[in-house]
Amino acid sequence: MSELNVDGVTLSYREAGQGPAVVLLHGFTGNSRNWALQIRPLVEGGFRTVSPDLRGHGLSGRPEDPGAYAITRLAADIVALADHLGLDRFFLAGHSMGGMVAQEVALVAADRVRGLVLVDTSHGPFDLADRARREELVRIAREQGMEAVFEYQFNHSPLASVYQQMPEENVRVWRQEFVMTAPAAYVGGQAAMTGRRDTLPRLATLAIPALVVVGSGDTPFVEPSQRMAAALPQGELRIIEGAGHSPMFEAPGEFTALLLEFLRRAAGA
């Protein structure tokens, strides 16, 4: 992986391919590997991919101040990365929290974003859990670390029965990525997502091609996805039947085909 220093924080990123640039932003407690199944098809399709680890995630720097993980701060990191790589114009795709970051980047650098892909994300504040459970998870992160947070979520989440039916290899990879997240990023990310400003009115100003994708089973994000697709002047909605929160690896064939078709069409335009 390559590295860039942004205001004293190391930002790690992966880069592959040549052609129109596509910046891929992972979600909360993930990292750049979340896009692993899309990189080769995108490169073979004639695109240059850039997939960073957001600060506090993966191999990137880990500020200890939870306030360093505001959505606007994460967006500023991505603009700095685009500057560093000489990306005057680029496509932008973001999953979950990464989709929130992608919205901010598009709003502050609208003249540079050629097209926007929002995957299982929301335009407004979003709680990952009810307040009491969220406060308990934050306490565990601060006092016991991310391994303990993973165990608590895996065994006590409302989705615990679903998690425990996942293939063992999927759980192993998920755990690896999850525990690479800094506790401060976990605490700060929770606060950032629940306290962010609603972007829906501003999305209506983005006159760029936009694809909104959501898994049919990702109930909390279906209606926000519908609203975003309707608000974006060139927005289109695609619902992937049977997929949950992460269609990139739950339904990689269908998702990647949708992504490539959109990018080719937008690049041609």
Question: Which domains, and CATH codes, for the chain?
Answer: 2-126+197-268 (3.40.50.1820)
The region, left, alpha or beta by phi > 0 then psi within -120 to 50, assigned to residue 115 is beta
pLDDT at 131: 74
Whether the pLDDT of residue 250 is over 90: the answer is no
Q: Are 133 and 159 in contact (CB under 8 A)?
A: no
Q: Helix 71-84 to helix 97-108 angle, to the nearest 10 degrees?
A: 60
Q: Are 108 and 101 in contact (CB under 8 A)?
A: no
Whether the pLDDT of residue 218 is over 90: the answer is no
Taking residues 134-158, report their average pLDDT: 87
Distance (Å, whole) CA 13 – CA 10: 10
- Average per-residue pLDDT for the chain: 92
Question: How far, in whole angstroms, is CA 121 from its chain's centroid?
Answer: 8
pLDDT at 78: 98
Helices (H) and strands (E) counted in the chain, each on its own, are 12, 8
pLDDT at 41: 97
Taking residues 156-179, report their average pLDDT: 77
Number of Cβ within 10 Å of residue 208's Cβ equals 18
Q: Band of the pLDDT at 134, cuts 50, 70, 90?
A: confident
Structure tokens at 29: 């407690």
Strand 90-95 with 48-52, pairing? unpaired
pLDDT at 5: 95
Q: Which of 15-19, 28-32, 172-176 has the lowest mean pLDDT?
A: 172-176
List for the chain the helix, strand, coil content (%; round to 5).
50, 20, 30
Number of Cβ within 10 Å of residue 205's Cβ equals 12
- List, for residues 99-121, the tens digit of each pLDDT value: 999 999 999 999 999 999 999 99
Q: Band of the pLDDT at 217, cuts 50, 70, 90?
A: confident
